[in-house]
Structure 1
């Protein structure tokens, strides 16, 4: 049974507690989604909201994981959807989303949650492989006008006036080789949008074992048009750059469990 939640104070933790109570009472298949993590199914015996005079803390857990966050306010409340501004206990801020999957309009929430999960891992991969570059844009938003798909997170990295376009493929993507086409669209879009930047390269992150067809396609691209970096990853904390020229008609495999990470060969910046 969920704990009784207190009187609302607009914009604060007490209002958030009442919003959570309303959401849970109206929901049949509630889940909790935090970017970068798998969704939690909210069960009565695995979810607790604790109200104190100046704070609201929620905890959610399953057999393998435990999440605890301090809620500061409600960001958005709609039927079947509740977005909460939260603080991690280390001081960082973020957002939790509670969604009722029983509502047809929200049934893609788990899919979007999976995209956000890989988007955050993609962010970490970019920081590891391009530590001297500034990540100025990272998005999974759909842009039909520019043919940008939400299925592949895309990024823009800068170092001075030099820039790199990047695109990532989640480990459960059914068509990883299509990321190259969307990556080229993203590269072209950035060159048109940012004419003052030298957009010299496209970096593609693809699950290990699924890079073969993509590398064959990269080999057919004009090397004078841009430089192309291909990285394989395990979807968690490992990635390694591979050379598309090493991929012939023979079956080529890479063991993602190798030791260490090989850093990319950066584009010439002049």
Structure 2
């Protein structure tokens, strides 16, 4: 039996038997019930795609390492890496962990750990009660430790919240630090202690490099047995790898796919763009940002948002209907603004407009150079779109796009800035074919946060104050009807 067939059969049998949790490298990702999945590509080395609103993961499956009653273990490969990783599907009834503890139990155990770790300090408060007015949910325990007149803000994350991304905890930790500072009537707030599940601190440690170096922040992990807290060595943990996609690879992939995808466009839809995905050797055709066709290994698939139906003479009528619906409903002047085609993937629609008219964001930007998907496996499941550009004087520009309120936008922009800044310092952009003919300035990149003017989260200003002085941020607020054309209503 071919690996792709064996994998699909094993997954279906495994899922049918009960609830399943997905883990990669021992880290919990999400319940499988919250994810869509598909298997595609070569039969002997298939691609497994897992996705949802908050997750997007594609891995090359090398083999099935284990298929027992309580777990299915796959040997998988990420783009840009030679060493295989481990992807697990674990039955929840066979393996319970701290995620099953209630919020109150988590708070009580964390209180015990803090007392053991900091015996000379007093735990003044520790709460898991939601405080939506200040953007705090019950997913985290937050409190303060005091020694003399000095206080530390504390935020702890249980294993059960790790599926949402440990790096997101830093946003709430900084907001909690700000809240503690505001409420402290006397004494000083020494800093922040952030406590994460075992094995989840690397992404947070990386983001800490983007913060003001004057901030005192300590990072800890609690081990699986809940016996101790381990302080993380930040310089060592912060080394997070990323890989640039060579421009020539993206161009070669488009050249391969172009004849087949241009045949799809016999109906001559305007406002389309071809976006290569070198990681999976695919090219997507997007109409106003929405994926409508996908080329893979000589085959073309179509469909709105998730192209899966293979194009053939028999499916041509459905393709033509899709084109008619797109012209009617994914249109800035559409009357039915609740239609799924109008509302789907708004960030991608916004990205398509920015790519066409980037000088509307800032006249100083060079319209010849607008790149997306610069980093291999750099995400996208966050709902924030990363665009890389350059000013006419040669300064790199990081442009972060969001169509709705997004509390994590400032720190996600800062993380992308870190990656761009590091690759710029290493001379990688010229080496990999970016910005030909441009002499890039050594100045750190600019950051543009772009969203409808009324859709910036209320916490944005607070979070921006925590960033390193090296990160120069410009907020660009668009008119609410941005689909009809980019108009800047506010620039700060």
TM-score when scaled to structure 2? 0.27
Q: Which has the larger radius of gyration?
A: 2
- Which has the higher relative contact order, 1 or 2, with Cα contacts under 8 A spaced 6 or more apart? 1
